[in-house]
Amino acid sequence: MGQFVRLAFSIALGAVGGAVFYYFNFPLAWMLGSMTITTIAALAGAPVTLHMPLRLSMTAVLGTLLGSAFTPQILQQLQHWSAGAVTVAVFVTVMTGLAVWFLVRIGGMNRVTAFFSGTPGGLGEMTLVGEQNGGDPRTIALVHAIRIFVVVLLLPLFLAGMADLDIPNTARVLAGRPAAAGSDLAILAACAVVGYILGQKLPLPGGQVFIPMMVSAAAYLAGFVDGRPPAELIAIAQVVIGSAIGARFVNLDLRATAKPIMLGVVSALGMLTMAAAFAYVMAPYLGLPMYALLLALSPGGLAEMSLIALALDVDTAFVATMHLVRILLIVTLAPTIFRLISRKTAEK
């Protein structure tokens, strides 16, 4: 089966899963439905595939959509963002330390693989840097993929269930807002194209989301665009990104990978529990909404968590920016911290 046919099958399958979840009024229906059905299909041996150029293109579209959250009123909230960034830095440090300890002491991983598996940075970046430092790239990639899957699956269900937060379908989230049309759509399309090109050329972690987001935000803040992104675009982004998560599990041997899968699930649950507790305690002191801080601290991917915030209409600009802060901190500091730890261990 050709690559194009496999890709079309994967997207169509994801759309079917999203439609089913939408019909039954699940939260984040299009992303959770596409992710769930493609994961099941991948584990069953179906010919699903992950097409990175398409995912990156859709990530640029997502970044452009996120730019709509940057309004002049956002400037009045910036004093809270610095405190949020410090909170993210402290929390990520504590969470990473506990996750690495768990993977080494309880999981029996070697230190290199455990360090880069337990550090909640980007999947691709941590796998690459971990392999360069002597870690097992398959295990690192698998633990990160499991973490993202668990967080993206459980967090919306937690908010809709235990936290009793009303999570409407995307179409209803945007129903009361004027949708972009005509010239607004043309400007947003230009922002996506420019952001995509710059995101490919500038070596910035998370740049595929952040740069289109900043280009779009500039257009909104300058008053060039007024309309909100169409709900259909958000639904399409959810299907593509959800399908891409599920496709990561293609050809996975469950028997051979049972241990890292379980370690990934347990560590993800632990990280999510810590994020909920930390957000509950710190949100009142920081003057931030509890759910916004929870989304900002949750160890999912930048694109996935930003999309959840956008669909829930929960301080999208803040959540996206805090996840960018997390990824920048981890990608820039994790290799240095690992070398320092390794040096001190060798000296002992």
SS in 3 state form for 226-277?
CCECCHHHHHHHHHHHHHHHHHCCCCCCCCCCHHHHHHHHHHHHHHHHHHHH
CB atoms within 10 A of CB 223: 8
348 residues of the chain, pLDDT tens digit each: 577 888 888 999 999 999 998 888 877 788 889 989 999 999 888 888 877 677 778 888 888 888 877 777 666 666 667 888 888 889 998 999 999 999 999 999 998 899 999 988 777 778 877 888 888 888 888 898 899 889 988 888 777 665 555 554 444 444 445 666 678 888 888 998 898 898 888 777 677 888 888 898 898 888 888 877 777 877 888 898 889 888 888 888 888 888 999 999 999 999 999 999 999 999 888 888 888 899 999 988 777 888 788 777 778 888 888 888 888 788 777 777 877 777 655 555
Give the domain range for residue 208.
73-222+254-347
User: Which residue type is seen at 3?
Assistant: Q
Quick check: 96 and 83 in contact, CB under 8 A?
A: no
User: Among positive and negative, which fits the CA dihedral 187, 189, 190, 196?
Assistant: positive
In a domain, 53, yes or no: no
Nearest to 248 by CA among 234, 259, 261: 261
The pLDDT score that the predictor gives to residue 271 is 93
Quick check: 155 and 272 in contact, CB under 8 A?
A: yes
Nearest to 338 by CA among 122, 137, 112, 118: 112
Q: Under 8 Å CB-to-CB from 315, ≥6 apart: which residues?
A: 69, 288, 289, 292, 295, 309
Rounded to whole angstroms, the Cα distance separating 280 from 288 reads 10
State the first-to-last Cα distance of the chain, in angstroms, to the nearest integer: 55
Nearest to 319 by CA among 333, 332, 303, 331: 303
In a domain, 97, yes or no: yes
- Residue 218, classified by CB atoms within 10 Å of its CB into exposed (0-12), middle (13-18) or buried (19+), is middle
In a domain, 60, yes or no: no
In a domain, 288, yes or no: yes
In total, how many domains does the chain have? 1
In a domain, 228, yes or no: no
Length of the chain: 348
The pLDDT score that the predictor gives to residue 178 is 66
In a domain, 334, yes or no: yes
In a domain, 6, yes or no: no
Nearest to 210 by CA among 88, 323, 72: 323
In the 3-class helix/strand/coil scheme, how is 127-174 assigned residue by residue?
Answer: HHHHHHCCCCHHHHHHHHHHHHHHHHHHHHHHHHCCCCCCCCCHHHHC
The pLDDT score that the predictor gives to residue 171 is 41
In a domain, 269, yes or no: yes
- Residue 207, classified by CB atoms within 10 Å of its CB into exposed (0-12), middle (13-18) or buried (19+), is buried
Q: Write out the two tokens for 166.
A: 């009303």
